[in-house]
């Protein structure tokens, strides 16, 4: 199971400032695609009011977007590893602009779904490229780098939630789709010209025993044959399901709880509960991704997962019990997204630690498809909510998060360490045997 590329690669020449610039450009690109997922909830009810297609049918577009965004990332990542990030990010910029352009004119579900496919392709190209590039530039700070990059996606919608909501109210959702779609696409396309990978692979650095990192670069086929990959995949799905449901359904939940327009005053600010919740959600989500990535760089990936997943379960339980209170709704959703978004920093970092840097973009892309698998449960949440109420949906999500927290410490942690140690011992044994054989022949 050891790649022929198992030798430790040479260090990248000193370019500290340049790699931070690469990270910054990746963050901006991620911010430009954030609204495709996190701004979507603002459009659901206006689209339904205009066309009367029903929430479930409209939310299917969200699922199609997420599935396309995630499941095509391994293919797009292969292009990145082979041809470089620039062309893939340029492609992404064009596709995300085209997607929202089509949404602005969509007069049928078919066109809405087609736009979701196009948007998913574009967002996945940008997301997979920027996260993979961060992992390659920062093997010594994978958690922080992946978290900061993912923070662009998590918090990028925060600064545009109010403008989008205002434009929807004043000019209609079609105008919001058109103007923001073109603007986001142009910025991504322009930045693509300046994004590039390290010219020489950079080796991982072991900081402490809590942060084991492989010295072997595993190829994608080898990764797919590894049981630890599929266990990580399962846990990713379990946690992502609740977060995607909340992201897509937060507006319908607030409307069903009859608190969407209720004024909430917090820290001197007053907004409608729904707008306040979405704004804080994006801020907390964006802050949580690099924060938990940094924490995981210091105390270990699995311990950080346990803390975050456990807190997420507690916040979901709070929403299921006291979510009808506008202030509780705003605060609980903010804290929940603050600990949910870390999956997009912890899992890429854990993937790079476990399987190496050389094929990090493709390997992380394969793991990222777990988000698409989880998105398939979003329409199911609407069905469960219609039949049993939102309380039942929250209870299911609580159980998934609590189970994932326990699996991180008691399953992923020991298996991952055994995987890394076992393969490095096998590589050393093979190298020693080869050297002895060559010596005898000589």
In this predicted structure, which of 102-116, 128-142, 197-211, 375-389 has the lowest mean pLDDT? 197-211
CATH, residue 375: 1.20.1250.20
Specify the pTM.
0.77
- pLDDT tens per residue, range 199-235: 765 554 544 445 778 888 899 999 999 999 999 999 9
Residue 58 has pLDDT above 60, yes or no: yes
Residue 109 has pLDDT above 60, yes or no: yes
The structural domain count of the chain equals: 1
- The DSSP string of 122-184 is HHHHHHHHHHHHHHHH-GGGHHHHHHHHHHHHHHTTHHHHHHHHHHHHHH-HHHHHHHHHHHH
> Does residue 205 form part of some domain?
no
| pLDDT band at residue 364 under the 50/70/90 scheme | confident
> Does residue 185 form part of some domain?
yes
> Does residue 4 form part of some domain?
no
Straight-line distance from the first to the last Cα atom of the chain, in angstroms, rounded to the nearest whole number: 28
Range of 99's domain? 16-199+216-441
> Does residue 143 form part of some domain?
yes
Residue 122 has pLDDT above 60, yes or no: yes
> Does residue 417 form part of some domain?
yes
Please say whether the dihedral angle defined by the alpha carbons of residues 153, 77, 412 and 246, taken in this order, is positive or negative.
positive
Residue 5 has pLDDT above 50, yes or no: no
> Does residue 308 form part of some domain?
yes
């Amino acid at each position: 199971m050891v790649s022929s590329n198992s030798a430790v690669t040479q260090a990248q020449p000193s370019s500290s400032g340049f790699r931070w610039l690469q990270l910054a450009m990746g963050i901006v690109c991620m911010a430009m695609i954030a609204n495709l997922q996190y701004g979507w909830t603002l459009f659901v009810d206006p689209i339904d009011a205009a066309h009367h297609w029903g929430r479930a049918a409209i939310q299917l577009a969200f699922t199609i977007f997420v599935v396309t965004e995630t499941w095509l990332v391994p293919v797009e990542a292969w292009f990145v590893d082979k041809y470089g990030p620039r062309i893939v990010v340029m492609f992404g910029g064009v596709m995300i602009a085209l997607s929202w352009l089509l949404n602005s004119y969509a007069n049928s579900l078919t066109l809405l779904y087609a736009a979701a496919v196009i948007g998913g392709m574009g967002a996945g190209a940008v997301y997979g490229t920027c996260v993979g590039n961060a992992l390659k530039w920062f093997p010594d700070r994978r958690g922080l780098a992946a978290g900061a990059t993912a923070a662009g996606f998590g918090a990028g919608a925060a600064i545009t939630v109010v403008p989008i909501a205002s434009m929807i109210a004043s000019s209609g959702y079609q105008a919001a789709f058109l103007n923001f779609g073109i603007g986001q696409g142009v910025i991504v396309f322009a930045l693509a010209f300046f994004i590039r990978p390290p010219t020489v692979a950079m080796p991982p650095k072991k900081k402490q025993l809590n942060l084991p990192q492989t010295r072997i670069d595993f190829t994608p086929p080898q990764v797919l044959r590894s049981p630890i990959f599929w266990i990580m995949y399962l846990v990713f799905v379990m946690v992502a399901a609740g977060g995607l449901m909340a992201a897509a359904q937060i507006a319908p939940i607030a409307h069903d709880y009859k608190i969407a327009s209720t004024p909430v005053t917090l820290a001197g600010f007053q907004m409608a509960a729904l707008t306040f919740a979405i704004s804080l959600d994006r801020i907390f989500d964006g802050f949580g991704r690099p924060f938990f990535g940094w924490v995981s760089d210091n105390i270990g990936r699995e311990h950080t997962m346990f803390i975050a997943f456990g807190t997420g379960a507690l916040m979901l339980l709070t929403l299921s019990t006291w979510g009808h209170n506008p202030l509780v709704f705003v605060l609980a959703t903010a804290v929940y997204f603050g600990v949910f978004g870390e999956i997009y920093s912890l899992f890429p970092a854990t993937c790079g630690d476990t399987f190496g840097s050389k094929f990090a973009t493709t390997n992380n892309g394969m793991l990222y498809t777990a988000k698409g698998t989880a998105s398939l449960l979003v329409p199911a949440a609407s069905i469960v909510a219609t039949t049993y109420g939102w309380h039942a949906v929250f209870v299911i999500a609580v159980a998934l998060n609590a189970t994932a927290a326990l699996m991180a410490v008691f399953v992923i942690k020991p298996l991952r360490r055994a995987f890394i140690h076992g393969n490095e011992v096998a590589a050393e044994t093979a190298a020693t045997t080869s050297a002895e054989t060559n010596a005898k022949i000589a």
